[in-house]
Structure 1
Amino acid sequence: MDLKQYQDVWVFIDCFQGHPKDVGYELLGQGRLLAEALKQKCCAVIIGENVDEAIKGATEYGADIIYVVRGEEYANYSADAYGHAFLELCEKYHPNTILIGATANGRDLGSKLAIRLKTGLTADCTALSVEEDTGNVVWERPAFGGNLYARILCSETRPQMGTVRPGAFKKPQKCQNKLSVMIREDIRTKQEDILTKVIDFIKAKDESGIKLEEAEYIVAGGRGLKGAENFTMLKELADLLGGSVGASRAAVDAGWIPQSKQVGQTGKTVTPKVYIACGISGAVQHLAGMTESDTIIAINKDASAPIFEVADYGIVGDVFEMVPAMIKEMRIAKNLEQ
């Protein structure tokens, strides 16, 4: 394989009913850094029916080239249709590197492409870099239960591919007066070749308020909350902050809060402005999902809890005293206290 024929870093912009997911824009920021290190271009790949919003966003977040495939058969994601379109693009343009968000659709698409392109795929990456001497992308991800980080290379085949967890990186600053090259490809997929059909979307019962991975303020609870009923005070504090409630795996496994609220290696990766950890000891698996937060505030009665090692501010105390006190002060600040 002549690796020199493979050029540019591609980022898949995952959309839901025409609305781009933030992870695509997060990856454009990383794609730009990789492309600069490789002296190549950063490109966005958009597949869908109504994709004007995604095209505008890809331009604003710095894509040099935007590959667009439109068609009514792409209105909703399917591995058959999207896989066919993306594969056609790869076989025509030969990308060097492909970044895909580790969403349900992204994981599905990435594995399909890797098999068809006969290349490797590193899943759930949390850090990316480039080896200067080889030009290989270094894909980093938690391994062995989060106790260490693996550095994975794809040195023999191209494209290099990886899925990246939503929230692992922040969205880059928007580019002013950015001009992207638009390449529209007329790739159609026959309806009889699409083996799965989307009938309807049913909103999950716990999906309300601000999404955890998009929240700027997160109040998270762990085993120290002692029961599901005590997450009510965390929600009150989160609401006052304009944020969302999160949880450790211990709280989820205990059935106190839905799995969709779990932060950590087997949950979601978040990067809020403020992360308040209440009664969370700080197991390495949990830390893997929140250490990139701008400010971490830890409340735990155990002064030796590992969470204090990553916290910017630590409160050694009882969460059942500290959180109500914080709520009271917030309500006073907002002139809500009666």
Structure 2
Amino acid sequence: MDLNSYNNVWVIGEQRQGKIQPVTIELIGEGRKLANQLNKKLAVVIPGNNIDNLAEDLLHYGVDIVYYLKHELLENFSTQGITIAVSDLILDRKPEIVLVGATSIGRDIAPRIAGRVGTGLTADCTKLEIDLTDNKILQTRPAFGGNLMATIICPKNRPQMSTVRPGVMEKAPYTEEVKGTIEVVTPNLKPEMIHTKLVEILELKKRLVNLTDAKIIVSGGRGLKKAEGFELLRKLADKLGGEVGASRAAVDSGWIDQSHQIGQTGTTVRPTVYIACGISGAIQHLAGMSESKYIVAINKDPQAPIFKVCDYGIVGDLYDVIPEMIEWIDKK
């Protein structure tokens, strides 16, 4: 493999029902940094059909090229369709680095694409750096349950592929100025290549949790001692216009749905304010929320590790502290 024939940084964009997903903007922000270090171009690949407006919107985030994979068979999400279309484009254009969001969609297509193009894939990265001595990307991810960080390289194959957890990287800023271009690419797709068929889209009845975009998160852990404790946290979150999060211990206890889980095995978040209620501060949980701008900890144990990373700490029973917080908010 001629490594010198590979160029530029690509982001595989994700859109659902005509809306660009936040992780795509986060990857553009990180991809821009990598591309600038390498003095290369940044491209976004967006599969779909009748989404010309989304391709145009992506140019406002500082990308150089938008590859719009336009095909009627990509009207709705198709694992095989997207895998084939993106893989063929990679084999033809030869990007040096490819970034994919570690979402349900990204985790579905990324290993398939890597397999088709003959390269490796580092999953769930939390940090990406460039070794400028040979333009290798240093892909860092937690290992052994978050107890150590492993840095992985792909020295002999290209592209170098990573999936990145949502909420880890800073979003690219929106700009009015547009310098990039859109290239519409028609993938070589035929109906017989796709072995599944969309029959019906069912509306999800349960409350959707948007932890990634939340500016304020009120999170509960083992210290709640019961499922009813999350009702109190929900009252505080509602007063603040935030979301409710949880530690793995609370989820494993069956007190709240897994969609609320924050940490190494859950969602990574970086809100403006993170209120940790009855959370001790295990390293696995800290891996998912330590980038919060302000961390407020409420815990009865003054020796809890969470107090070493918080900006504001309250030693006390959360069942006494939170009602007082709610009362104070109501008065204001």
Q: Residue 214 of structure 1: CA displacement?
A: 1.3
**Residue in 1 aligned with 2:150?**
150
- Residues in 1 aligned to 2:256 and 2:58: alpha-carbon distance in whole angstroms: 35
Question: Matched residue of 2:27: which SS?
Answer: helix
In the alignment, residue 265 of structure 2 is paired with which amino acid?
A: T
**Residue in 1 aligned with 2:31?**
31
Question: Matched residue of 1:263: which SS?
Answer: coil
**Residue in 2 aligned with 1:231?**
230
- Residues in 2 aligned to 1:283 and 1:152: alpha-carbon distance in whole angstroms: 24
Q: Residue 323 of structure 1: CA displacement?
A: 0.8
Q: Residue 192 of structure 1: CA displacement?
A: 1.5
- Residues in 2 aligned to 1:199 and 1:327: alpha-carbon distance in whole angstroms: 46
TM-aligned CA distance change 1:155 to 1:239, over 3 Å: same
Alignment pair present for 1:167 and 2:164: no
In structure 1, runs of 5+ residues without a counterpart are: 334-338
- Residues in 2 aligned to 1:134 and 1:148: alpha-carbon distance in whole angstroms: 26
In the alignment, residue 30 of structure 1 is paired with which amino acid?
A: E
Question: Matched residue of 1:228: which SS?
Answer: coil
Any conservation in 2 of the 1:138–1:151 contact (CA below 8 Å)?
Answer: yes
**Residue in 2 aligned with 1:52?**
52
- Residues in 1 aligned to 2:85 and 2:132: alpha-carbon distance in whole angstroms: 32
**Residue in 2 aligned with 1:336?**
none
- Residues in 2 aligned to 1:179 and 1:21: alpha-carbon distance in whole angstroms: 22
- Residues in 2 aligned to 1:53 and 1:217: alpha-carbon distance in whole angstroms: 31
Alignment pair present for 1:89 and 2:85: no
Deviates more, 1:95-104 or 1:321-330: 321-330
TM-score, normalised to structure 1's length?
A: 0.96
**Residue in 2 aligned with 1:275?**
274
Any conservation in 2 of the 1:206–1:258 contact (CA below 8 Å)?
Answer: no
**Residue in 1 aligned with 2:6?**
6
- Residues in 2 aligned to 1:319 and 1:233: alpha-carbon distance in whole angstroms: 10
Q: Residue 172 of structure 1: CA displacement?
A: 2.1
In the alignment, residue 329 of structure 1 is paired with which amino acid?
A: W
In the alignment, residue 328 of structure 1 is paired with which amino acid?
A: E
In the alignment, residue 93 of structure 2 is paired with which amino acid?
A: Y
Alignment pair present for 1:246 and 2:262: no
**Aligned positions, number:** 332
- Residues in 1 aligned to 2:194 and 2:98: alpha-carbon distance in whole angstroms: 24
Question: Matched residue of 2:28: which SS?
Answer: helix
**Residue in 2 aligned with 1:135?**
135
Any conservation in 1 of the 2:46–2:68 contact (CA below 8 Å)?
Answer: yes
Q: Residue 53 of structure 1: CA displacement?
A: 4.1
- Residues in 2 aligned to 1:53 and 1:272: alpha-carbon distance in whole angstroms: 29
Question: Matched residue of 1:287: which SS?
Answer: helix
- Residues in 2 aligned to 1:284 and 1:102: alpha-carbon distance in whole angstroms: 21
Q: Residue 171 of structure 1: CA displacement?
A: 1.0
Any conservation in 1 of the 2:44–2:67 contact (CA below 8 Å)?
Answer: yes
Q: Deviations over 1:218-267 (max 9, x none)?
A: 00000011111111111111111111000000000011000000001110
Question: Matched residue of 2:291: which SS?
Answer: coil
In structure 2, runs of 5+ residues without a counterpart are: none
In the alignment, residue 32 of structure 1 is paired with which amino acid?
A: R
- Residues in 2 aligned to 1:259 and 1:212: alpha-carbon distance in whole angstroms: 12
Percent of matched pairs sharing the same residue? 48
**Residue in 2 aligned with 1:200?**
200
Any conservation in 1 of the 2:280–2:304 contact (CA below 8 Å)?
Answer: yes
Any conservation in 2 of the 1:18–1:49 contact (CA below 8 Å)?
Answer: no
4+ long deviations beyond 6 Å: none
**Residue in 2 aligned with 1:123?**
123
